[in-house]
Amino acid sequence: MLEVAGVTKRFGDQTAVDEVSFTIAPGEILGLIGQNGAGKTTTFRMILDLLQPDAGRISWQGQPLAQLNRDFIGYLPEERGLYPKLTIEEQVQFFGQLHGMTAKDVDAQLDDWLHRFEVKGKRKDKIKDLSKGNQQKVQLIAALIAMPKLLILDEPFSGLDPVNASLLEAGVRLLQKSGAAIIFSSHDMRNVESLSDRLVMLKNGREVLTGTVAEIRAQYGRVRIHLDEPALSKAELAALPGVAQVTQTGSHFELALTDETAGQAIFDRVTAGGYIAGFRQQAPSLDEIFRMKVGEPDA
């Protein structure tokens, strides 16, 4: 288990991370979210011992992580770092050996990983001759091939199309099944929502949300109603008691409520004329909650 307990990091007068705490159990995926500058990458760098915290502690299986050989950690940085003159094979062998693998071990597994990520290139091709997307896949393979016990992914979905994002998610799930503790950051709340067992949101270095996606959404109540092809106009919907805002996209309407208890009366009103194509009352999406928390003034 990874434990981050009360960790703080300052750079001069600026506090980049302020008493952040969380744990990640084996086989668990934690999403770390927040705006640029919220403290995500600084937190990752402290876990990797590239930066030392000014306060708090970071431990792995109860032992101070800074005192351990860290070849059990896989890391994908946000800034891609490959050696362009190396071949795919040489690149992955280099990173694999840094994590305790032999060149023979890497060689035996490489074709399977290239196939799993659908890399368009041969193992003897040089990195510089690959497309950017395939370069990114090679770096992902380099981070995953040693099957690390702790995996850190900083914006891994950046620049990936939906197909390649699905391949990445499958690779992460493979490590999860092996018992790895996984932490990743992403600005795409769809990725966070689909992949995370739990999440932590940072704002200006502080934790402002923590829990499962369902727990966090439940805190806000079912204050969104989605309507398809209602008989009422946008103006009529906006005039209903408890409706704070109406957004229309074609024949689809989204109602933001002041209180979820208004939902029953709204349902009765919009169905009074008979059938409507759709009525769903839900909590705000994770993306909506993220935007709300970002816009809130600091305590």
Residue 191, domain CATH:
3.40.50.300
Residue 195 maps to a domain: yes
Residues 143 and 249 in one domain: no
**pLDDT tier at 34, thresholds 50, 70, 90:** very high
The domain in which residue 237 lies consists of 221-282
CA 125, 127, 129, 131 torsion: positive or negative?
Answer: positive
Domain count, the chain: 2
Residues 90 and 190 in one domain: yes
Residue 295 maps to a domain: no
Weakest-pLDDT range from 31-45, 106-120, 153-167, 198-212: 153-167
Residues 171 and 70 in one domain: yes
- Residue 81 pLDDT > 80, yes or no? no
Residue 157 maps to a domain: yes
What is the rounded CA–CA span in Å between residue 93 and residue 110? 9
Weakest-pLDDT range from 13-22, 156-165, 188-197, 224-233: 156-165
Amino acid at 169: E
- Dump pLDDT digits (tens) for 99-117: 889 989 999 999 999 999 9
**Rounded mean pLDDT of 143-156?**
92
Residues 196 and 252 in one domain: no
Long-range contacts formed by 267-273: CB under 8 A, 24+ apart: 269/232, 269/240, 270/227, 270/230, 270/231, 270/232, 270/237, 273/231
Residues 43 and 174 in one domain: yes
Residues 38 and 75 in one domain: yes
3-state helix, strand, coil in the chain (%, to 5): 35, 30, 35
Residues 161 and 254 in one domain: no
Residues 124 and 229 in one domain: no
**Rounded mean pLDDT of 195-213?**
94
Q: What is the pLDDT of residue 299?
A: 55
Residues 138 and 250 in one domain: no
Residues 189 and 167 in one domain: yes
Residue 292 maps to a domain: no
Residues 229 and 168 in one domain: no
The pLDDT mean for the chain works out to 92
CA distances from 229 to 7, 152, 250, 257 (A): 51, 45, 9, 19
Q: What token pair was written down for 25?
A: 């159990």
Residues 203 and 239 in one domain: no
Residue 38 maps to a domain: yes
